[in-house]
Homo-oligomer: A and B are copies of this chain.
């Protein structure tokens, strides 16, 4: 059993030469089928169609989204459920399977951990490798025509739910992923470069002083969700110098 974990950016235009070759060499791609984001599944299907690989979908296990106290444990339960669902497909079909990862497998994506779980469960031997893809912060920077940091300075990449603690710890240049509007309170004088559904037809961009452009971001986020049926936002936040 061979699994290839392939970063696909935000669709066929972001696929690299090595990922295209890998896709063509796979027997099928597997993807979860959620109840409420047919737009994302369609985008994934467009990648499979572009490189001639059939797409096998599995129903997504339920996940407790109510921010439980033990967040890592809740995530682990959900990873295990996904691992079981994918394992069934791999055992039934055999051959080489592609897992298509939005953006890049190295940032806020669970595919690698799920494939490790399938291997650890031991029902089927799994050999896997990973190829990188274009991630949302890179598209954000390209669209705004910016570098993610000032000359020679760091950039702190964080999920939105940890933005507050990073700012309190003194970070002054942050990429915020997985829901870019939490924790914006008190940052009115910071500069924001914001984007939603980056690299897709429903892409939205806003930049400026956060206190000034906050209503623009809210409106743009609604447009992205209305246009696509889903919304994923990413932002760079920089303290006023």
Nearest-neighbour CB distance to chain B for A161, whole angstroms, equals 7
Q: Say yes or no: A156-B154 contact (C-beta < 8 A), given A142-B105, A142-B131, A169-B169.
A: yes
Q: Is the CB of B151 within 8 A of A72?
A: yes
Partner of A105, one of B141, B158, B159, B162: B141
Mark each residue of chain A from 106 to 131: 1 if its CB lies under 8 Å from any CB of chain B, else 0.
11110011000000000000001111
Q: Is the CB of A16 within 8 A of B13?
A: yes
- Please, which residues of chain B bring their CB within 8 A of the CB of A162? 152-154
Q: Is the CB of B72 within 8 A of A146?
A: no
The number of chain A residues with a CB under 8 A from chain B is 55
- Please, which residues of chain B bring their CB within 8 A of the CB of A138? 7, 104, 106, 132-133, 135
Is A137 positioned at the interface, with any CB of B under 8 Å from its CB? yes
Nearest to A156 among chain B residues (CB) is: B156
Q: Say yes or no: A128-B145 contact (C-beta < 8 A), given A17-B13, A18-B13, A170-B169.
A: yes
Q: How far is the CA of A76 from the CA of B150 in the complex (A)?
A: 12
Q: Is the CB of A112 within 8 A of B145?
A: yes
Nearest-neighbour CB distance to chain B for A79, whole angstroms, equals 9
Q: Say yes or no: A133-B130 contact (C-beta < 8 A), given A105-B147, A152-B72, A169-B169.
A: no
Partner of A17, one of B12, B112, B128, B169: B12
Binding site for B on A (CB under 8 A): 7, 9, 12-18, 20, 71-72, 75-76, 104-109, 112-113, 128-135, 137-139, 141-143, 145-149, 151-159, 161-162, 166, 169-170
The 9 closest A-B pairs by CB, nearest first: A106-B141, A154-B158, A132-B138, A130-B142, A13-B18, A132-B142, A106-B148, A155-B157, A132-B134
18 new A-B pairs (CB below 8 Å) besides A14-B16, A104-B138?
Answer: A9-B132, A71-B151, A104-B141, A105-B147, A106-B137, A106-B138, A106-B146, A108-B149, A113-B147, A113-B151, A128-B145, A130-B141, A130-B143, A132-B139, A133-B134, A133-B138, A154-B166, A169-B169
